[in-house]
Every structure is written in C-alpha cells, then in structure tokens.
Amino acid sequence: MRAPVLAAVLALVCQGALAQSVITLQDSGEDGRYTIDASVNGVGVRTYYTDENWFVSMSTTTYLFLYENGYIHDNDVKGLTTLKLPDGSSSKCASFVIRKLKVGDHILVTNLPAFVVKKQTVPLLICASAFSSLGDVTREGDRIVIGDLGPDVAVSDVIDPVDSLRLAAQVFIEAEEYDKAVGCLASLRDRGALNMLTEYQYAVILNLLGRDEENIGVSLDWLASNEGKSLTMDYWIHNGLGSSYARTGDNLKAAEYLEKAVDDYYRLYNTSEKSVKAGNFHDDNLGATLYRLGRLYAAEGKVRPAERYCSLSAGCGYQPAIDFCKQYKIKY
C-alpha cells in the first residue's frame, strides 16, 4: 500500500455550519509538548499535537485497548504499509481508519486515516495537516484556528474483514500477545484465508505456546503446500515439528523432523556435516538442533547417532554439547 499524502487523501467531515473553530492547546509539562482534548470513536484518548508535517498515529498499546474493547472494528482496519518516521528510519506500520475523532467541542472528523507505530510512546499524535481539509489552519499561541470550513468529503471504502484479521494478528504478534494472535490466525484458517506466511506464523506460534497437537496438524498442512519454497521457513517448521513430537513423547518422529531441519540449515548456509565436524562452521541455532537430536537418540538407546549429533553440536561451538561430550568422553 502506498503511503498516503495527507492533503490528498484525508477524508474529513465537519459537523455544523461554523465559520470558524478553535482548538485549545494545553501544556503537557513534557518538554514543551502540547495536548488537546480529543476522543476516538467516543472514547477519550490522551492526544498530543505537533505543528510538524506528520500524520495521525497511535501507539500499539492504545490501539490494542481500543480494538479489544470494541472501539476499533475489524472493518476499520486497512492493512500494513511502510512509513518513514521523523528520525529518518522506516517502519512497517498498521493502517486503520478512525471513524469519529472529536476535538474540543465543535469539530468532528470522520473516516480519518491513521497508523499504529510500534515505537511510539504517546497514545495519539495529531498534526496540523490533519485539519487542513476543514479549512485554513493557523496557530495563534495556544490556539489552533480553523477558518473557511470546507465541504464534506466522501466516506472511504469498506475494508475486507480478512485483511483486518491479518492486521490484528500482526499487531498482536508485535506486541507479543501470542494467544490473541493465535485466535486471529485460527479465524483466518476457518475462513480458508491463511496464506503461506500467515500459516507459517500460526505454526511457529503454536509451537512457541506448546500447543503440540494443533502445531503438528497446521505444520503438516503447511509442508504439504509449501515445502521447498523457502529454506528458512522449512527449517523453522521442521524444527517446530521436532519440538512438538518430542513433547508428545514420540522421540523417533521428533528426530526425523529435526534431521530435516539440520539438512535445511546446511543448505541455507551452504555448509555441510563435514565442515561442521572440522570446526569450520560455528552457529548456536544449528548447534542447539544437533544437540537435541543427540539427546533424543540417547533417550532411545541409539548410541552411535547420539554420539554423532552431540559431537557435531560441539563442533558448532554449542557449549552444552561441549560440556556433554567432555563428561562422556565423546570426541568432537
């Protein structure tokens, strides 16, 4: 989605036939920052104002509160876009529409595009250009004066609920609210709307939460459609299946998928067992997977593969495997 140019796309509607409206700025006591009285979809939100040419943005915490309590609806959500932030960096941001933003006593702005910025510390940030479609905006000390109020503007398009679920899942993932992310992804799966990436995210989070039977089902479905398309994704799906099977007590099935994960990793980083054995490739992720493989085979009484994978893990520089090999006098 292209980043919108505010002056061209803000859909603002003014309530009433006022010739002029005034917004009073209040000193927040925070390094000259000003706040204004505002509410989002009927809920009062601490709102900061800036004269800079910026856009309407909301913190993740505020967005999640409004979304979870029903003040932001699924069809308010647009999707994801990349924005350039004031510090010069770029960030992937969620895009949504504020249905009603009331500022002060007189101005009602509707269908206002806004963005969820993860690193933002203030609940809601509004800039002068957000009001430019209402009329001429001037700053007079602690007042913003809007004159020559313009005509109403058309309402924006309705948003697909599938897009809103994908966005909600992404916001929950970024906020590390994994149970809630799983709920959104499960709804997408019920709709048959999981794509390669979202189904991968679903499987990874299910493994992270230890929901093994669900993870095994989702992961096997993902592999049936997508195996071989991305070595990185293959590695994490195979690795997750290994973890889930191990937790269910099926050590040999777990070993089968962890061996596939090891092969993915070798190909991903253009290395080999021979190179690892020679101590030419040090990597903790690979080392951890190799060590788990060794321990699984040890639990099954399979000494030779157990020693093989533990020694390879030690060759990766993985310290627990090094300690294990020293304790049991395994060469590496």
For 200-231, the pLDDT digits (tens) are 999 999 999 999 999 999 999 999 999 999 98
189: CB partners within 8 A, 6+ apart: 199, 202, 218
Cα distances (Å, whole numbers) of residue 19 to 7, 132, 136, 141, 329: 21, 14, 11, 20, 87
Q: What's the sign of the alpha-carbon dihedral 191, 113, 90, 284?
A: negative
188: CB partners within 8 A, 6+ apart: 162, 165, 166, 169, 194, 198
pLDDT, mean over the chain: 82
Give a three-class secondary structure readout of 223-256: HHHHCCCCHHHHHHHHHHHHHHHHHCCCHHHHHH
Confidence bin at 37 (pLDDT 50/70/90): confident
Name the 3-class secondary structure at 326.
Answer: helix
What is the 3-state composition of the chain as percent helix, strand, coil, each rounded to the nearest 5?
A: 45, 20, 30
Q: What is the tens place of the pLDDT at every residue in 152-208? A: 332 233 445 676 677 778 777 877 889 988 988 998 899 898 888 889 999 999 999
Closest CA to 310 of 282, 327, 330: 330
How do strand 26-27 and strand 34-36 relate by DSSP bridges?
antiparallel
Does an H or E element contain 95, and which?
strand 90-103
Confidence bin at 33 (pLDDT 50/70/90): confident
Beta-bridge partners for 40: 43, 101
Tokens 């679920």 found at: 165
**Cα(202)–Cα(194) distance, integer angstroms:** 9
Q: Domain boundaries in the chain? A: 6-147, 161-327
Statement: residue 49 has pLDDT above 80: yes
DSSP state of 115: E
Q: Dihedrals φ, ψ of 292, to 5°?
A: -60, -40
Structure tokens at 215: 């993870």
- State mean pLDDT over 256-268: 95
Contact 96, 67 (CB under 8 A): no
Between 266 and 69, residue with greater pLDDT: 266
Question: How much is the pLDDT for 302?
Answer: 94
Question: How much is the pLDDT for 17?
Answer: 34
Cα distances (Å, whole numbers) of residue 325 to 62, 104, 234, 328, 332: 51, 70, 29, 5, 7
Closest CA to 239 of 166, 180, 222: 222
Beta-bridge partners for 145: 22, 138
pTM confidence score = 0.59
**Cα(214)–Cα(241) distance, integer angstroms:** 11
Torsion on CA atoms 221, 74, 118, 49, rounded to nearest 10: 170
User: What CATH architecture is 161-327?
Assistant: Alpha Horseshoe (1.25)
CATH placement of domain 6-147 = 2.40.70.10
Question: How much is the pLDDT for 176?
Answer: 84
